[in-house]
Structures are given as structure tokens and as C-alpha cells.
Amino acid sequence: MVVTFNRKELLLRTLNGLDQQTLPVHTIVVIDNASTDGTNELLQQSGYLDKPNLLYHKLDTNTGGAGGFYEGTKIAHQSGVDWLWLMDDDGYPPESCLEELLKYQDQFDFYGPLVLSDHDKISLSFPITLPTMKKIIRNKKQLDNLSLNNKILSDVLIPFNGVMLRSSLVSHIGYPLAKFFIWGDDIEYTKRAKESGARIATITDIEFYHPTAPSLGTPMFFGKMQFNDTDSKIKLYCLCRNNTANLKKYHGSLHALLFGIKTIWFYSFTRPSLKKLKFSVYGLLAGWLNDFSKHSQFIGKTFE
């Protein structure tokens, strides 16, 4: 299942990757978040809309990644399949990805490959913080130095980037939260899965490729912590709101408060920005109050 919005060329790369799997994909569900870049036309021209195993579903409005994964997970789950393979439109799998992933279907319920930069295929697209070591892993070499047992990172996952999701788990915990719009919905879903007792892991010798944002995982406190800086207002607002809401719900008010302090510190000292500082406080407050009603006003807006 693939969620897309205004990235038709990257979507085509993703679909080509799915089409070339050594183990054929049964059904490809594409959720188009009301794209305006000619996504539909490109899929028609490339022949994908004529493929019997592709289901293209275009939404009336942009519901964000969270809304797209909510809709796609619901459609795929209700179709009666045993497994869902989730990704967005800018990631893509190598040819043997699905075949290799399914070798672990008896061991885990929600698991995925190592997500690497599509540029160098060495750097992690999303730096991983290992909970037991409090160490940030940024590339394959650092992982190799850990001497992992069977190349498995237990209870660690970069969700919605080439991950396998057992359909029976969806029946138990429900769908991703559409109200999150973007960022944090995948984290919330993973937290929900963990609370249900789901077996979660990253299989580090199976790869999936995804672009790396330069500001994602920006180091702070001498590299001991990181923060996902962004110039997009909708992303920063949802990051602050959704992360605060997640921390407060799953870890308690103290953790949510510490995240607020971390955010304020980042925009006060690490990368000083009065505009972002004031704006992030607005998002932090919304998360504290569990208010998911105001994000639409920031869609498409950036800090100047």
C-alpha cells in the first residue's frame, strides 16, 4: 500500500520497485491525497492504471500522510489479506525486499527493513536511537559495530517505510489516526502495537531506500540528542503537537514537558529562530490540550 501526494515521478519509481519484486505483490493500493501534479495522468500513460493488481483511490482533499495511511490500511485490511506492506511515495524496495521480509512472518507482527539513503545506500534515512544504549545510529557501519544477534533490532522500527503489518494486528488495534495529518501517526501506531503485545523489529540485512532530509535528526547537546528541524509550518506544527500528545499519552506528562523544553532549547540555542520558537510553542500547547483542529491553516506555508 502506497500513499502519495504531488510526487508523481517518485511514485513511479516506487511502483516500478513493487512491480519488479521477485515475489509478486498480490495487490497494490495507491492512495492519492488529492494530488494536483498530474499523478493520475502519469499513471495512465505508464500503464499502471490498466494493471489488474493495482487499485488507485484518489481522495477528495489532502488528508496528509496520516489520513492516507488510515484510508489505505482500512481498504487493504477490509480486502481480507493476511499482510499489509506499507510505504509512502518517495521510498522504494530492491527486487528481493518482499521475499526476504516474508521469511520473518512467523517471528514478528509489525516489522520492516533497514531504511537507507537512496543516494549513498549507507546512511540511515532516519537516524535510530537505541533505547537500551541511548546511542544514535546514523549509518550501516555503526550498526555493524554492534554485532547484532541475527541482524535483528528488536522493538525498533521505522514505521510506514516498507514495513510489514499483520492484518490480524490491525483487527486488534485499529487503523492509524487520520487526525494527526502528518508526522507522529506512525509513532503512535507503533506505540499502540507495542502496548498490544505485538512483536516488533527491524531486520538490518534487508534494505529499503528513501531520501534523507538534511535537517532530519539535527544533532543537539553534543550529538547526544537530535531534533527534526523543518521550514514547513505544517510539519513543525504537527511535529510539536503530535509528539507532545504521544508522549503525554504513552509516557506521561513529564516526558511531554521535557520534549517541550528540548524544542524551546533547540530554537533558542542550537538553531536560534524566534519565529520557529513562537510557532513551536503554539504546536506544543495544542498537543498538551489534545487539540487536533487547527493544522489545516498551515498547509503549504513556510517560514520566510
Q: Which of 156, 190, 210 is the last residue of a domain?
A: 210
On whether residue 9 sits in a domain, the answer given is yes
On whether residue 124 sits in a domain, the answer given is yes
| Whether residue 213 has pLDDT greater than 80 | no
Domain count across the chain: 2
Do 194 and 225 fall within a single domain? no
Do 193 and 268 fall within a single domain? no
On whether residue 231 sits in a domain, the answer given is yes
| Whether residue 136 has pLDDT greater than 90 | no
pLDDT band with cut points at 50, 70 and 90 for residue 114: very high
Do 155 and 228 fall within a single domain? no
Question: Which stretch of DSSP H or E encloses residue 218?
Answer: strand 218-220
Do 37 and 172 fall within a single domain? yes
Do 193 and 227 fall within a single domain? no
Q: Give the separation between CA 131 and CA 144, rounded to whole angstroms.
A: 17
Do 241 and 126 fall within a single domain? no
Do 175 and 244 fall within a single domain? no
Spatial CB neighbours of 61, under 8 Å, sequence gap ≥ 6:
34
| Whether residue 81 has pLDDT greater than 80 | yes
Q: Which of 121-135, 254-268, 280-294 has the lowest mean pLDDT?
A: 121-135
On whether residue 234 sits in a domain, the answer given is yes
On whether residue 187 sits in a domain, the answer given is yes
On whether residue 161 sits in a domain, the answer given is yes
Q: Which of 210, 243, 277 is the last residue of a domain?
A: 210
Summary mean pLDDT of the chain: 95
CATH number at residue 118: 3.90.550.60
pLDDT band with cut points at 50, 70 and 90 for residue 83: very high
Do 84 and 195 fall within a single domain? yes
Residue 225: predicted pLDDT: 86
Q: Which of 150, 185, 210 is the last residue of a domain?
A: 210
Residue 221: predicted pLDDT: 84
Give the range of the structural domain holding residue 267, as residue numbers without chain letter: 218-298
pLDDT band with cut points at 50, 70 and 90 for residue 103: very high
Do 277 and 223 fall within a single domain? yes
CB 280 within 8 A of CB 264: yes
* pTM, rounded to two decimals: 0.95
Q: Which of 60-69, 144-153, 183-192, 282-291 has the lowest mean pLDDT?
A: 144-153
| Whether residue 132 has pLDDT greater than 80 | no
For the segment 254-279, the average pLDDT, to the nearest whole number, is 97
Helices (H) and strands (E) in the chain, counts: 10, 12
On whether residue 303 sits in a domain, the answer given is no
CA distances from 152 to 9, 114, 200 (A): 33, 10, 10
For 106, the 3-state DSSP assignment is coil
Do 229 and 197 fall within a single domain? no
Do 165 and 129 fall within a single domain? yes
On whether residue 304 sits in a domain, the answer given is no
Best CA proximity match to 116, nearest among 7, 236, 205:
205
Do 137 and 243 fall within a single domain? no
